[in-house]
Structure 1
């Protein structure tokens, strides 16, 4: 368990929060003040030339804040606007997963059927289920990790070409024994949809999602067309160099959709409010195993639970998260940045929720400083030091991670890709409970 969190560690936010009252309107403290702070933050990044892209926040299905920064085409000085369309990368997988569950609800396919009748040449096809593809538990090698990809990524590949490439891979692991992210899974899912509906993925997406939800600016992409208000992507760290675009034929089902933050939020809200799938189907999508849901990831940010997906294609970066309890949809898409887009989206969410910091004095923090030993393994230790009024967790004697105080002697280390970790101390600091996911262990101070 601890090895897992050390590999996945990325601290999300270094601040603390009060408990919110039960599901009431968001940001009743001062929503306008929160969005003003977000606006100021993005304005600074715009002036410094560190970010281009678009942000949209929607509460209960209604837009409450949006901002677009930079150019969709630097060469012609074409400014981006709220209708500018971006490649959303792997957020496309959530759309593909919804289409698969729609096919399941229409009794066209079964979640637990194996894939050998669709792809007889795939290794272990007789053991791999549609559920395994959805949840990245197939063992099928990720074709985007193949070094050969960079030789052909800008060229058209037919679905048969790509299927041939994937079929030649050996399995990375025995199906359903572990989870490992693979774009190959979602390409195969797109091909199952095309076979079952006897239509292109583009047309299935149009019929089942974009037309019913009136998503005007969402579709399966082709070559970028600036005149259609689509955006290029840029490497801003290298003199604003336009990045050579990946041919979208390669990313059918896994990363081929073009959209806007407004449309993505509309899609996510519809998904989580029962307008696309049954409650049972959504519950399956949200089921997390080895960090993967079925087309969704879980995000735990300042004790709030969200579900969504991130994307990365060329220099496009995207993040979309829906917080069910707060009924908040958040989508940020960048077509060029000098900053870590993950840090930016976390900073924006932090500003929006506007959580109050719970302060401790230096004396109060001091009693939690020290080395704590796991009662079942004396070699398993956790170490804490003090930085004025902040308790800091020392990892492997090298990495320092400031902890967020949540009250009642509970400190939290939040992670981008892993379960957050809670350290719940006794009132005198002589022991603590370490909690992460299903793991719960008691440690005593040396």
Structure 2
């Protein structure tokens, strides 16, 4: 895919981003210009408009610097959610499962490159698929969540035996290791491998190897939602908040079965990504991205910062948890009901917290970066930049305008909600430009400069 196409897709999503002015309250006294008040204002506006329910926490250097909760854990009884409310975290579970797999590898109980035929004789291509390929979504095994059967039966108890039987009957979506494609079946199988390897339950392994060492006292494999144990229901909005029928977590083992709190998730990802759980070698493998997927982790870039974590969704629960190592910053947002895209909310909150001051650049200085730049690898790949006052604009397909943020030293950034940020770094004379995204770089030369050299 050309870089310009990536920008178009991302820019269209930016058009819908939240930009309203918000105002709110909090119990402690704070100055009006602090990030706490600004984030409170944002959440209060969402709360008043019945747009969001859930909890947010930010931790830096292991200390909580902001936390807040809005909405109800049980609308029927008007039970307010609190910072200790426990939510289903959906696919954030996969980071826990991957961590358990790497713990087993470090204990010499599993081999990353071992094929899964030993464990699952009936799964298609089992003798070709490795544990590494399950972790990185490169197995080709069809995801059970794409099967109508699953959604027809998701509220019922489904045994692991029946789940394995269903997965074993799927034809492969693609040849193992030929590409990456997200599949919940991969992590269900990884959970079964862990249980067979240790001859104990996934829940026991979760507690023994992760929760107890990191003091995650509110993290566990869920069962039916228990509101009396401070768990939360999830809700869909249609004129009012309506309770959403809960998935029986028997079918989500290892892939979406965990219940936790935002504070526990911050502790987990900070512990994991600062080397308190796994070796440096294991962490490096988990963070290695191939076709957008790591091994139990995703890479996220927001506000020109790179972090690792995971997102999750189950029923109407949404979870996002990311650790930004450069800032030693942990962020978790969990929602049990939202009319707004969660990505918009977490992006806005991080902007308010980080509060990066804009770097000034004069209109005259911007002029040298205006023009058409041609890729040195593909003459048909062009990046066009125009100027509007003291803002440089990436003009895409003569139709979409993407304003760029100046970061200093001739570098401009396009922040994206659903993809990694894009960086444009120009030479001092504006005759060359380096396009960078996700660790990949492409070199461009200004068109009038090319003409002079031709």
TM, length-normalised to structure 2:
0.89
How far is 1:31 from its partner? Answer: 13
Equivalent residues in 2 for 1:98-117 (5 A)? 98-117=99-118
Q: Does the 8 Å contact 2:155/2:246 carry over to 1?
A: yes
Give 3-state SS (helix, strand or coil) of 1:378's partner.
coil
Residue 441 of structure 2 corresponds to residue 439 of structure 1: yes
**Equivalent-residue separation in structure 2 for 1:149 and 1:395 (angstroms):** 41
User: How far does the alpha carbon of each residue in 1:95-116 deviate from its partner, in whole angstroms, 9 at most, with x for none?
Assistant: 1011111111111111111100
Equivalent residues in 2 for 1:154-193 (5 A)? 154-193=155-194
Residue 277 of structure 2 corresponds to residue 257 of structure 1: no
Give the equivalent residue in structure 1 for 2:357: 356
How far is 1:64 from its partner? Answer: 1.8
Aligned CA-pair RMSD: 2.3
Q: Does the 8 Å contact 1:358/1:407 carry over to 2?
A: yes
Report the CA distance shift for 1:388/1:54 in structure 2 as closer, same or farther (over 3 A).
same
How far is 1:391 from its partner? Answer: 2.2
Give 3-state SS (helix, strand or coil) of 1:104's partner.
helix
Q: Does the 8 Å contact 1:237/1:338 carry over to 2?
A: no
Give 3-state SS (helix, strand or coil) of 2:34's partner.
helix
Give the equivalent residue in structure 2 for 1:273: 274
**Equivalent-residue separation in structure 2 for 1:302 and 1:152 (angstroms):** 41
Q: Does the 8 Å contact 1:393/1:401 carry over to 2?
A: yes
**Ranges in structure 1 where 5+ consecutive residues have no aligned partner:** 15-29
Give the equivalent residue in structure 1 for 2:339: 338
**Equivalent-residue separation in structure 2 for 1:214 and 1:32 (angstroms):** 35
Give the equivalent residue in structure 1 for 2:245: 244
**Equivalent-residue separation in structure 2 for 1:410 and 1:264 (angstroms):** 34
How far is 1:425 from its partner? Answer: 2.6
Which deviates further from its counterpart, 370-379 or 299-308? Answer: 370-379
How far is 1:373 from its partner? Answer: 2.5
**Equivalent-residue separation in structure 2 for 1:396 and 1:173 (angstroms):** 33
Give the equivalent residue in structure 1 for 2:27: none
Report the CA distance shift for 1:426/1:280 in structure 2 as closer, same or farther (over 3 A).
closer
Report the CA distance shift for 1:431/1:132 in structure 2 as closer, same or farther (over 3 A).
same
Q: Does the 8 Å contact 1:115/1:128 carry over to 2?
A: yes
Give 3-state SS (helix, strand or coil) of 2:50's partner.
coil
**Equivalent-residue separation in structure 1 for 2:398 and 2:14 (angstroms):** 21
Which deviates further from its counterpart, 30-39 or 318-327? Answer: 30-39
Give the equivalent residue in structure 2 for 1:22: none
**Ranges in structure 2 where 5+ consecutive residues have no aligned partner:** 18-30, 449-454
**Equivalent-residue separation in structure 2 for 1:420 and 1:81 (angstroms):** 33
**Equivalent-residue separation in structure 1 for 2:227 and 2:420 (angstroms):** 41
**Equivalent-residue separation in structure 2 for 1:323 and 1:140 (angstroms):** 32
Give the equivalent residue in structure 1 for 2:218: 217
**Equivalent-residue separation in structure 1 for 2:344 and 2:445 (angstroms):** 32
**Equivalent-residue separation in structure 2 for 1:168 and 1:212 (angstroms):** 38
**Equivalent-residue separation in structure 2 for 1:396 and 1:225 (angstroms):** 53
Q: Does the 8 Å contact 1:218/1:259 carry over to 2?
A: yes
Give the equivalent residue in structure 2 for 1:140: 141
Which deviates further from its counterpart, 41-50 or 172-181? Answer: 41-50
**Equivalent-residue separation in structure 2 for 1:390 and 1:152 (angstroms):** 53
Give the equivalent residue in structure 2 for 1:17: none
User: How far does the alpha carbon of each residue in 1:207-232 deviate from its partner, in whole angstroms, 9 at most, with x for none?
Assistant: 21122222121110111111111111
Report the CA distance shift for 1:396/1:160 in structure 2 as closer, same or farther (over 3 A).
farther
**Equivalent-residue separation in structure 2 for 1:215 and 1:244 (angstroms):** 27
Equivalent residues in 2 for 1:19-418 (5 A)? 33-418=34-419
Q: Does the 8 Å contact 1:375/1:444 carry over to 2?
A: no
How far is 1:275 from its partner? Answer: 2.1
How far is 1:357 from its partner? Answer: 0.7
Q: Does the 8 Å contact 2:2/2:381 carry over to 1?
A: no
Give 3-state SS (helix, strand or coil) of 1:148's partner.
helix
User: How far does the alpha carbon of each residue in 1:98-143 deviate from its partner, in whole angstroms, 9 at most, with x for none?
Assistant: 1111111111111111100111111111111111111111111112
Give the equivalent residue in structure 1 for 2:26: none
How far is 1:234 from its partner? Answer: 0.9
User: How far does the alpha carbon of each residue in 1:280-315 deviate from its partner, in whole angstroms, 9 at most, with x for none?
Assistant: 211211111111111101112233221100111111
User: How far does the alpha carbon of each residue in 1:400-442 deviate from its partner, in whole angstroms, 9 at most, with x for none?
Assistant: 3222211122212233454432222344544423233333222
Q: Does the 8 Å contact 1:31/1:352 carry over to 2?
A: no
Q: Does the 8 Å contact 1:271/1:277 carry over to 2?
A: yes
Give 3-state SS (helix, strand or coil) of 2:369's partner.
coil
How far is 1:55 from its partner? Answer: 0.8
Larger RCO, structure (CA 8 Å, separation 6 or more) = 1
Residue 2 of structure 2 corresponds to residue 2 of structure 1: yes
**Equivalent-residue separation in structure 2 for 1:258 and 1:201 (angstroms):** 14
Q: Does the 8 Å contact 1:12/1:301 carry over to 2?
A: no
Report the CA distance shift for 1:416/1:40 in structure 2 as closer, same or farther (over 3 A).
closer
Number of aligned residues: 431
**Equivalent-residue separation in structure 2 for 1:275 and 1:89 (angstroms):** 24
Q: Does the 8 Å contact 2:8/2:396 carry over to 1?
A: no
Report the CA distance shift for 1:113/1:45 in structure 2 as closer, same or farther (over 3 A).
same
